Structure 1
Amino acid sequence: MSYIQQGTPLFRKTSFAFFAAGFNTFAILYCVQPLMPEFSKEFSINPTTASLSLSITTMVLAISMLIFGSLSEVWGRKPIMVSSMLAASVFCILTAFSPNFHFLLVFRTIEGISLAGLPSIAMAYLGEEIESKSLGTAMGLYICGNSIGAVFGRVFSGMLSDYFGWHIAIGGIGIISLAATLIFWKCLPPSRNFKARQLKIGKLGKSLIDHLKDPVLICLFVMGFLLLGSNVALFNYIAYALLERPYSLSQTFVSWIFLIMIIGMFSSVWTGKLVDRHGKQKILFISLLITLTGVCLTLDTHLFIKILGLGLFTFGFFGGHSIASSWVGQRALQNKAQASSLYLFLYYTGSSVGGTLGGVFWSTYGWGGVISMNVGFLMIGFMLWACVSKIVLNSKKVTKVVEFD
Structure 2
Amino acid sequence: MSRPSASVAPLDSTADAALPLGRIRLALFLAGFATFSLLYCVQPLLPEFARSFGVSAAASSLPLSLATGGLAIAIFCAGALSENLGRRGLMFGSIALAALLNGIAAFIPHWETLVVVRALSGIALGGVPAVAMVYLAEELPAHKLGAATGLYVGGNAFGGMMGRIGMSVLTDHFDWRTALAVMSAFDLLVAIGFVLLLPPSRNFVRRAGVNLRFHLQAWGGHLRHRYLPWLFSIPFLLMGTFVSVYNYAGFRLGGPEFGLSQSQIGLIFSAYVFGIVASSVAGVGADRFGRGPVVLGGTALAIVGLVLTATHALPVIIFGIVLLTIGFFIAHAAASAWVGRLGQASKSHAASLYLLAYYVGSSVVGSVSGWFWQHGGWSALVGFCLVLQVLALIAAQVLRKGADDSKPYGRFGPQPARGE
Question: 2:406, 2:334 → 1: CA distance?
Answer: 20
* Alpha-carbon distance, 1:9 to partner: 6.8
* Alpha-carbon distance, 1:251 to partner: 1.5
Instruction: Go from structure 1 to structure 2 and tell me whether the alpha carbon gap of 1:393 and 1:37 turns closer, same or farther (over 3 Å shift).
Output: closer
Counterpart of 2:273 in structure 1 is 262
Instruction: Go from structure 1 to structure 2 and tell me whether the alpha carbon gap of 1:302 and 1:66 turns closer, same or farther (over 3 Å shift).
Output: same
Counterpart of 1:21 in structure 2 is 31
Instruction: Go from structure 1 to structure 2 and tell me whether the alpha carbon gap of 1:26 and 1:393 turns closer, same or farther (over 3 Å shift).
Output: closer
Counterpart of 2:96 in structure 1 is 86
Question: 2:311, 2:367 → 1: CA distance?
Answer: 23
Question: 1:105, 1:400 → 2: CA distance?
Answer: 43
Counterpart of 1:123 in structure 2 is 133
Counterpart of 1:12 in structure 2 is 22
Out of 345, 350, 355, which is 2:361 matched to?
350
Instruction: Go from structure 1 to structure 2 and tell me whether the alpha carbon gap of 1:189 and 1:299 turns closer, same or farther (over 3 Å shift).
Output: same
- Once the two structures are aligned, what percentage of the paired residues are identical? 35
2:312 maps to amino acid: T
1:79-132 Cα offsets, whole Å, 9 max, x none, are 111111111111111111111211211110110111000112000000010111
TM-score by length of 2: 0.92
Instruction: Go from structure 1 to structure 2 and tell me whether the alpha carbon gap of 1:7 and 1:309 turns closer, same or farther (over 3 Å shift).
Output: farther
Question: 2:197, 2:124 → 1: CA distance?
Answer: 21
* Alpha-carbon distance, 1:246 to partner: 2.0
Q: Give the secondary-structure state (helix, strand or coil) at the position aligned to 2:80.
A: helix
* Alpha-carbon distance, 1:344 to partner: 0.4
Question: 1:313, 1:400 → 2: CA distance?
Answer: 30
Q: Give the secondary-structure state (helix, strand or coil) at the position aligned to 1:270.
A: helix
Counterpart of 1:177 in structure 2 is 187
Question: 1:375, 1:17 → 2: CA distance?
Answer: 36
**Between Structure 1 and Structure 2, how many residues are aligned?**
400
Instruction: Go from structure 1 to structure 2 and tell me whether the alpha carbon gap of 1:254 and 1:387 turns closer, same or farther (over 3 Å shift).
Output: same
Do structure 1's residue 206 and structure 2's residue 217 form an aligned pair?
Answer: yes
2:150–2:333 contact (8 Å) kept in structure 1: yes
Out of 333, 340, 344, which is 2:351 matched to?
340
Q: Give the secondary-structure state (helix, strand or coil) at the position aligned to 2:120.
A: helix
Question: 1:336, 1:401 → 2: CA distance?
Answer: 17
Q: Give the secondary-structure state (helix, strand or coil) at the position aligned to 2:201.
A: coil
1:216-295 equivalences under 5 Å are 216-295=227-306
2:305–2:319 contact (8 Å) kept in structure 1: yes
Instruction: Go from structure 1 to structure 2 and tell me whether the alpha carbon gap of 1:202 and 1:44 turns closer, same or farther (over 3 Å shift).
Output: same
* Alpha-carbon distance, 1:203 to partner: 1.2
Out of 69, 73, 76, which is 2:83 matched to?
73
Instruction: Go from structure 1 to structure 2 and tell me whether the alpha carbon gap of 1:40 and 1:393 turns closer, same or farther (over 3 Å shift).
Output: closer
Instruction: Go from structure 1 to structure 2 and tell me whether the alpha carbon gap of 1:331 and 1:91 turns closer, same or farther (over 3 Å shift).
Output: same
Question: 1:7, 1:153 → 2: CA distance?
Answer: 36
Counterpart of 1:43 in structure 2 is 53
Question: 1:38, 1:307 → 2: CA distance?
Answer: 22
Counterpart of 2:10 in structure 1 is 2
Out of 148, 159, 174, which is 1:149 matched to?
159
1:127–1:330 contact (8 Å) kept in structure 2: no
Question: 1:357, 1:333 → 2: CA distance?
Answer: 34
2:290–2:405 contact (8 Å) kept in structure 1: no
Structure 2: segments with no counterpart, 5+ residues: 1-8, 408-415
* Alpha-carbon distance, 1:394 to partner: 12
Question: 1:394, 1:323 → 2: CA distance?
Answer: 11
Q: CA RMSD in A?
A: 2.1
Do structure 1's residue 107 and structure 2's residue 113 form an aligned pair?
Answer: no
* Alpha-carbon distance, 1:218 to partner: 0.6
1:260-308 Cα offsets, whole Å, 9 max, x none, are 1111110001111111221111111111110111100111110000000
2:302–2:326 contact (8 Å) kept in structure 1: yes
Question: 1:343, 1:393 → 2: CA distance?
Answer: 17
Instruction: Go from structure 1 to structure 2 and tell me whether the alpha carbon gap of 1:10 and 1:100 turns closer, same or farther (over 3 Å shift).
Output: same
Question: 1:291, 1:248 → 2: CA distance?
Answer: 26
Q: Which has the higher helix share?
A: 1
1:192 maps to amino acid: R
1:221–1:342 contact (8 Å) kept in structure 2: yes
2:229 maps to amino acid: I
Instruction: Go from structure 1 to structure 2 and tell me whether the alpha carbon gap of 1:401 and 1:264 turns closer, same or farther (over 3 Å shift).
Output: closer
Instruction: Go from structure 1 to structure 2 and tell me whether the alpha carbon gap of 1:161 and 1:33 turns closer, same or farther (over 3 Å shift).
Output: same
Runs of 4+ in structure 1 deviating by more than 3 angstroms, as ranges, are 1-9, 393-396, 399-402
Stretch deviating more after TM superposition (210-219 or 23-32): 210-219
Question: 1:285, 1:126 → 2: CA distance?
Answer: 24
TM-score by length of 1: 0.95
Question: 1:400, 1:375 → 2: CA distance?
Answer: 30
* Alpha-carbon distance, 1:392 to partner: 2.3
Q: Give the secondary-structure state (helix, strand or coil) at the position aligned to 2:271.
A: helix
